[in-house]
Amino acid sequence: LAASKVLIVYAHQSPSSFSAAAKDAAVEVLKSENCTVEVSDLYAMNFKATATAEDITGEVKNADHFCYAEETKLAWEDGRLCADITEEQRKLNEADLIIFQFPMYWFSVPAILKGWFDRVLTLGFAYTQDKRYSQGIFENKKAMLSFTTGSQETMFSPNGINGDMNVTLWPLQNGILHYCGFQVLAPQIFWDPVLAPLERRNSMLEAWRTRLQGLLKEQPLSFTPMCCFDSEKGFQLRPEALEKHANGEFGLTVGIHLGKPLPPNNQMKAGV
């Protein structure tokens, strides 16, 4: 573990925010654990959020019908992606673990972080039709979400007004991180720090510091592997996989639920 490299992709404008405190705690603890830590402070970098033709140096193949994914794939192959993207891709390539630190905006990530996903996870570099999910390009890397909410925990429960946080996390953790092959560690959620008393904010940070000490040894969340799906039948679950789980009480995951009750905490805790 001594050689582990960590990239923290940080998206908050204020250095006095709780997100900043969580980021600083991660830098401090991980360095004390002999990790090399690099931080991409997206707002400080004035990182461009929009995926446009400006991300490509030189000519595009089809200017009349511009397709961002295809054009940036070609540009990546030719070394013609703009410098801010290639620099983030370098950091990502070198990292063993990527922590995304952000405040949850509208049940998702801030636009500047969504732009990082849109622009940095280039077709060819981060995924292909053949290399995704459990067979993905980054299968040897770990990634996790660490974020603050503006709502208390009870509001993000199966009976709460915001709905189950496991459902909220599925598009981010399955649709972005696991899609690119990452082993996804359970999220670190700081519930409503703005309204929390100082003592609770401090205890949340202390729990994060404790977790960070063993973070690289944690088991990742469970996702259904690619081999369970039949590519010739539209990537549907294979009959034997369906049969195996036919009598189970719960579905396989939040997304692949088989019309059954969702497995509890499927996107929140490993091995559940």
Predicted confidence pLDDT, tens digits, the chain (272 residues) = 456 999 999 999 999 999 999 999 999 999 999 999 999 999 999 999 999 999 999 999 999 999 999 999 999 999 999 999 999 999 999 999 999 999 999 999 999 999 999 999 999 999 999 999 999 999 999 999 999 999 999 999 999 999 999 999 999 999 999 999 999 999 999 999 999 999 999 999 999 999 999 999 999 999 999 999 999 999 999 999 999 988 999 999 999 999 999 999 999 998 65
The pLDDT, as a whole number, for residue 270 is 87
The pLDDT, as a whole number, for residue 263 is 94
Q: Is 19 within the bounds of a domain?
A: yes
The pLDDT, as a whole number, for residue 139 is 97
For the whole model, what pTM was predicted? Answer: 0.96
Q: Is 58 within the bounds of a domain?
A: yes
The pLDDT, as a whole number, for residue 233 is 94
Domain residues for 18? Answer: 5-219
Q: How many domains does the chain divide into?
A: 1
Q: Is 247 within the bounds of a domain?
A: no
The residue assigned the tokens 């994060």 is 208
**CB within 8 Å of 38: residues ≥ 6 apart:** 5, 6, 7, 8, 91, 94, 95
CATH number at residue 80: 3.40.50.360
The pLDDT, as a whole number, for residue 1 is 45
Q: Are 55 and 38 in contact (CB under 8 A)?
A: no
The pLDDT, as a whole number, for residue 258 is 94
Pairing type for strands 236-237 and 229-230 reads antiparallel
Q: Which runs of E-coded beta strand occur in 118-208?
A: 142-148, 183-184, 188-190
The pLDDT, as a whole number, for residue 271 is 66
Q: Is 159 within the bounds of a domain?
A: yes
CA dist., res. 220 & res. 253, Å (int): 14
Q: Is 272 within the bounds of a domain?
A: no
Q: Are 97 and 143 in contact (CB under 8 A)?
A: yes
